[in-house]
Amino acid sequence: MTYHILNGNSLADIFGEANITGEIVVIREALIEGNLAGNTLAEFWQNRADSLGVSLEQYESGSVSEFNKIIHAPDSSIFNLWFGYDLFCQANVWFILSLINDLKTKKEVYMVYPTFLAEADIWLEFGRANADDLRLSLSNKVRFEEQDFQLAHKLWQAYKNQDLDTLAKLAESKSACFPYLKEVCKAHIERFATDAQASRPERVLAGILEDGETDFYAVFRKFNAQEGIYGFGDSQLKPIYDKLLAV
């Protein structure tokens, strides 16, 4: 069985046009934010539901049901992970790989990145893709080897536990599966304020506001033009925007 693990509904909407065969798994999560605690998957699911402000039943219906397709995949399955290079996507990828790595079966796993993008647009993900772009990206997929799985496991554990020192060390690792690892880890580490300065997103957002732009969606576009590496959506940026306007 071949599984195509897609980052969100928008990619799923255009995926059918490419006539790529296989079972589709749609990841409806944003592990870039919220509670990541939990010693078991059951605890983790509950904490995620609480973070999103939905019932466990709603979360299981919308998200866990898709993750379960991975968890219950048959022997010798092939997994193609269709994600961008940005932090939003990579956080989801690290978790998904932890699920796949726990499978006690034979499997092949590949990263499918948006390789049709020009370097200047590298953080835009699959949002502008057409059927030809998807087929090209699939032809350039990168296979996970054992050392890549080990790295992904360490990345997820450090990320989940907010172990920024370990994450900084792992960022120096070289892996074709994570071509922008150093940049992404640095961006995450700089999401946290220090005694010396505010967080990187807050500093950038403050600069945009100081230039006189206050409309949220205009600010949102300018922020993503400068800091697309984060892959932030409205819900990640709006709390920072609200905080700065309230000062």
Identify whether the C-beta of residue 123 lies closer than 8 Å to the C-beta of residue 84.
yes
What was the pLDDT predicted at 209? 94
Do 26 and 141 reside in the same domain of the chain? Answer: yes
CATH code (residue 141): 3.40.1360.10
- Claim to verify: residue 220 and residue 131 sit in the same structural domain: no
Does residue 184 sit within a domain?
A: no
Q: Is residue 171 part of a domain?
A: no
pLDDT at 195: 86
Q: Which whole number is the average pLDDT over 4-28?
A: 92
Whether 34 and 151 map to the same domain: the answer is yes
Parallel, antiparallel or unpaired: strands 77-82 and 23-27: unpaired
- pTM over 0.85? The answer is yes
Residues 145 and 210 in one domain: no
pLDDT at 127: 85
Q: Are residues 63 and 158 in the same domain?
A: yes
- What letter would DSSP give residue 124? G
Please report whether residue 182 resides in a domain.
Answer: no
Distance from first CA to last CA of the chain, Å, rounded? Answer: 54
Last residue of a domain, one of 112, 134, 162: 162
Whether residue 48 lies inside any domain: the answer is yes
The predicted pLDDT at position 37 comes to 95
- In a shared domain, residues 110 and 207: no
Sequence-distant (6+) residues with CB within 8 A of 49 are 55, 56, 58, 59, 60
Shared domain for 138 and 224, answered yes or no, is: no
pLDDT for 199 beyond 90: yes
Could you tell me if 166 and 173 are in contact, meaning their C-beta atoms sit under 8 angstroms apart?
Answer: no
Indicate whether 222 and 158 sit together in one domain: no
pLDDT band with cut points at 50, 70 and 90 for residue 220: very high
H-assigned helices in 3-145? 9-15, 41-52, 56-59, 65-71, 87-101, 131-139
167 within domain boundaries: no
Residue 247 has pLDDT above 80, yes or no: no
Task: Tell me what the pLDDT averaged over the chain comes to.
Answer: 95
Of 138, 162, 186, the position where a domain reaches its end is 162
- As for how many domains the chain has, the answer is 2
Please write the tens of the pLDDT for every residue from 142-196: 999 999 999 999 999 999 999 999 999 999 999 999 999 999 999 999 999 998 8
* Residue 85 placed within a domain: yes
Q: Are residues 236 and 124 in the same domain?
A: no
Mean pLDDT of 44-56: 96
Domain boundary among 146, 162, 178: 162
Q: Is the pLDDT of residue 53 over 90?
A: yes
Regarding whether 225 and 144 lie in a shared domain, the answer is no
pLDDT confidence of residue 213? 86
Domain that holds residue 126: 2-162
pLDDT tens-digit map of 76-121: 999 999 999 999 999 999 999 999 999 999 999 999 999 999 999 9
Evaluate whether residue 190 is within a structural domain: no
Do residues 144 and 240 share a domain? no
Q: Do 16 and 123 have their domain in common?
A: yes
Q: What is the mean pLDDT of residues 225-230?
A: 96
Instruction: Tell me what the mean pLDDT of segment 40-51 comes to.
Output: 96
